Structure 1
């Protein structure tokens, strides 16, 4: 098996936490602004990403992207059209470009992969829980300036890529953010 950049980190974290690696595995590199999707240790695809407004942080209300091992707990948005805006994980019926300038903000668009942390006291539990913080991998309305896009702690993908990625990974997939 060929081990690509990031996959060895996933295996090491799984071993440290006594967690069995999943067939699909995701490595998110905050420094590189890359998300890598692995299948049985082989690199499937690399995506450009954007992250939190603030530096990485697992602390509640920090607006930083949480680090550590997570898994995809819920997949939301099957069949929604590209650019669909979700509020409270519910599709609004409008795509982001259908909102007027006074309504524009950093939207959750297209698909949602809701993450749950696996490291108690780090990204799971009181004051640091990624799931309770509503940390997702999701599409964005900020594609025009994607290099400068910022979230409230979520991992952002371009909308067409979000659909591709969403369709490729099952619930339960491990996601290491570092």
Structure 2
């Protein structure tokens, strides 16, 4: 996807109904997905475990060409493919799977810079185990999606795509 294509699309994440909507330049919906945002609610403070609000953009796309259920640590594939047996071996691990869309805030003092920087907080849109519920807040701050959904979204957007979290 080209940089100009990304500018014509917008991602809107609605905390209240735990959804992510992709729209075109005219605001027409192209896709809608269930998500799971932070168990701790909304907030921008580093260490809060909250999902940040406001205007953001996709700063990095990670995972192109990797198989579905690829496991990431530190934004790098571990070589593992998520499975129930792997989950059993690592209880309590916060699984980041399939694809990562790393977000960056656009509003100085709200979600960019200092102790409220979305990018430095490592806030992503990413895949999660399919056994995890969608439609209810359960993440550590990121926006979790079904693996097939995050892979679909990943192919539609590019670096620079606006993301609004409301």
TM-score of the two chains, using structure 1 as the length reference? 0.84
1:26 alignment counterpart: 11
Which gives a bigger RCO, structure 1 or 2 (Cα 8 Å, sep 6+)?
2
| Stretches of structure 1 lacking an aligned partner (at least 5 in a row) | 1-20
SS at match of 1:127: helix
Task: Report the Cα offset of residue 149 of structure 1.
Answer: 6.3
Q: Deviations over 1:41-90 (max 9, x none)?
A: 22101000001120101010000000000000000000111111100000
The question of 1:123 aligning with 2:115 is answered no
Q: Structure 1: how far apart are the matches of 2:73 and 2:14?
A: 27
Q: Structure 1: how far apart are the matches of 2:94 and 2:69?
A: 12
> Residues 100 and 66 (structure 1 numbering): CA distance in 2 closer, same or farther, change over 3 Å?
closer
1:56 alignment counterpart: 42
Assess if the C-alpha contact under 8 Å between 2:18 and 2:137 holds in 1. Answer: no
The question of 1:87 aligning with 2:61 is answered no
Residue 88 (structure 2) aligned to one of 101, 113, 119: 101
> Residues 122 and 164 (structure 1 numbering): CA distance in 2 closer, same or farther, change over 3 Å?
same
Which structure 1 residue ranges, 4+ long, deviate > 4 Å from structure 2? none
Moved more, 92-101 or 116-125: 92-101
> Residues 149 and 33 (structure 1 numbering): CA distance in 2 closer, same or farther, change over 3 Å?
closer
| Stretches of structure 2 lacking an aligned partner (at least 5 in a row) | 1-5
Aligned-residue CA RMSD in angstroms? Answer: 1.5
Task: Report the Cα offset of residue 100 of structure 1.
Answer: 4.9
TM-score of the two chains, using structure 2 as the length reference? 0.90
Task: Report the Cα offset of residue 95 of structure 1.
Answer: 1.3
2:140 alignment counterpart: 152
Report how many aligned residue pairs link the two structures.
157
Q: Structure 1: how far apart are the matches of 2:104 and 2:132?
A: 28
